[in-house]
């Protein structure tokens, strides 16, 4: 067991792990208590995008970069309208903002959204502990002024009762409740902000399992009219929208649990022959629909510096990642090809069907935050839709 520091006397917050490990520090955001699966993100930038990424629903994020807050917070660097992470752990107190786009101090932004966190934690020791002992639930308690910290023993029973992400369905907690259209394109400094899609050549229906907004922005940026639909939308309703392509979004939770309702829909969509592109949870669900299996990882991949090899051309991409489950390599069926693998641990990072117009990647080509090495995948999706339209029978071509 690690207990850093040994005395809780000067501190007003603690981090308790399910295995009994305790860290003491100073509270961030609002006072109170939060629980979730502890994980770590190795990105040096993009903390606001990370905290609002719906894929982090149910998780507490440890930022390995020690200085968090220097960019401040704004209304543009978001991947959802509200934060979805359960809490955050950082090394140093929140850094004062120093960026021309800053609108809020990060501390004020956390308070505005009711988020709880802890600083003063030895995040190197915590990260090494997670690497060695694997993902597990954790609890952050930020005591109010004048309130003494409880002993860890008082909190362990409550933490033990908190459900594990393995087997947990979370996509329904973050999906849209109603269909909607999307036209906003990506943020550009030269334009002074976001743009609006102009002439759209393709119609994409995006199934929302907890999608990041930058995915929608890039689809619009590549000339797509985008219609977003809830996770449980029946295949017949999706096909009735007459899509040129179907996009399967990222999202939180166990793909096998989400698959209980998603797989019958996806199998029907695969049989339709409409091009399909999946990212993250969408990749895992498409893999399950094509006959593969998924499993929970020991510690997951989260950060902006993950090397992935494209097996189709031999090139290496530096990617942005956020996943705690992966497709089991030995379960991939013969009619599906592995296209990308992680150079960290060899896990499956990309797949494509050999006879159907469907492909997917485990990582995040839309970045936000992260490098832009993999944005060509959106071009490939557009190219697949164009080819599919050309090959359609004349009576079925879009007007």
Ramachandran sector of residue 239 (left: φ over 0; alpha: ψ -120 to 50; beta: rest): alpha
**Nearest CA-CA partner of 211 in 281, 304, 275:** 281
At 270, phi and psi to the nearest 5? -60, -40
Residue 154 annotated among the catalytic residues of the structure: no
Among left, alpha and beta (phi > 0; psi -120 to 50; other), residue 364 is beta
**How far apart are alpha carbons 242 and 229 in whole angstroms?**
13
Whether cis (ω within 30° of 0) applies to the bond prior to 359 is no
Annotated active-site residue in 79, 169, 349, 366 = 366
Distance CA(361)–CA(381), nearest Å, equals: 12
Q: Which of 327, 368, 377 is nearest to 347 (CA)?
A: 327
Residue among 224, 280, 304, 360 flagged as catalytic: 280
The residues, ordered by sequence, that sit 6+ positions from 296 with a Cβ below 8 Å of its Cβ are: 135, 165, 166, 254, 324, 325
Rounded (5°) CA angle 203-208-213: 80
340 is catalytic: no
Annotated active-site residue in 84, 129, 202, 364:
364
Dist CA 286 CA 280 (whole Å): 10
The separation between the first and the last C-alpha atoms of the chain, rounded to the nearest angstrom, is 66
Clarify whether 366 is annotated catalytic.
yes
Q: Exposure pattern of 295-323 as b/e (b: 16+ CB <10 Å)?
A: ebeebbbbbbebebbbeeeeeebbbbbbb
| Residues designated as active site | 280, 364, 366
């Amino acid at each position: 067991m690690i207990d850093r520091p040994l005395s809780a006397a000067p501190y007003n917050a603690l981090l308790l792990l399910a295995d009994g490990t305790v860290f003491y520090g100073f509270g961030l955001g609002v006072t109170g208590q939060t629980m979730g699966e502890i994980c770590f993100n190795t990105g040096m930038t993009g903390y606001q995008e990370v905290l609002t990424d719906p894929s982090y629903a149910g998780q507490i994020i440890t930022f390995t970069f020690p200085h968090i807050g220097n960019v401040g917070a704004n209304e543009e660097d978001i991947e959802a309208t509200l934060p979805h992470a359960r809490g955050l752990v950082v090394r140093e107190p929140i850094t004062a903002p120093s960026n021309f786009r800053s609108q809020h101090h990060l501390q004020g932004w956390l308070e505005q959204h009711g988020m709880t966190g802890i600083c003063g934690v030895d995040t190197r020791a915590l990260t090494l502990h997670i690497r060695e002992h694997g993902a597990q639930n954790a609890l952050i308690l930020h005591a109010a002024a004048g309130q003494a910290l409880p002993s860890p023993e008082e909190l362990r029973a409550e933490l033990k009762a908190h459900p594990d992400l393995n087997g947990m369905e979370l996509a329904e907690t973050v999906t849209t409740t109603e269909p909607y259209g999307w036209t906003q394109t990506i943020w550009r400094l030269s334009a002074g902000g976001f743009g609006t899609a102009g002439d759209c050549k393709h119609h994409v229906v995006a199934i929302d399992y907890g999608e990041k907004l930058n995915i929608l922005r890039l689809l619009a940026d590549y000339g797509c009219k985008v219609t977003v639909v809830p996770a449980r939308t029946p295949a017949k309703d999706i096909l009735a929208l007459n899509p040129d392509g179907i996009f399967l979004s990222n999202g939180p939770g166990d793909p096998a649990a989400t698959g209980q309702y998603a797989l019958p829909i996806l199998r029907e969509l695969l049989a339709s022959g409409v091009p399909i592109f999946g990212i993250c949870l969408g990749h895992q669900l498409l893999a399950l629909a094509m006959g593969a299996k998924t499993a929970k990882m020991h510690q997951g991949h989260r950060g902006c510096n993950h090397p992935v090899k494209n097996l189709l051309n031999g090139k290496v991409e530096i990617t942005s990642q956020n996943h705690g489950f992966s497709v089991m390599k030995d379960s991939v069926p013969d009619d599906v090809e592995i296209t990308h693998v992680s150079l960290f641990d060899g896990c499956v990072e990309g797949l494509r069907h050999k006879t159907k117009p469907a492909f997917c990647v485990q990582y995040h080509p839309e970045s936000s935050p992260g490098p832009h090495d993999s944005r060509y995948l959106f071009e490939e999706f557009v190219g697949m839709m164009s080819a599919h339209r050309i090959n359609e029978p004349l009576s079925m071509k879009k007007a």
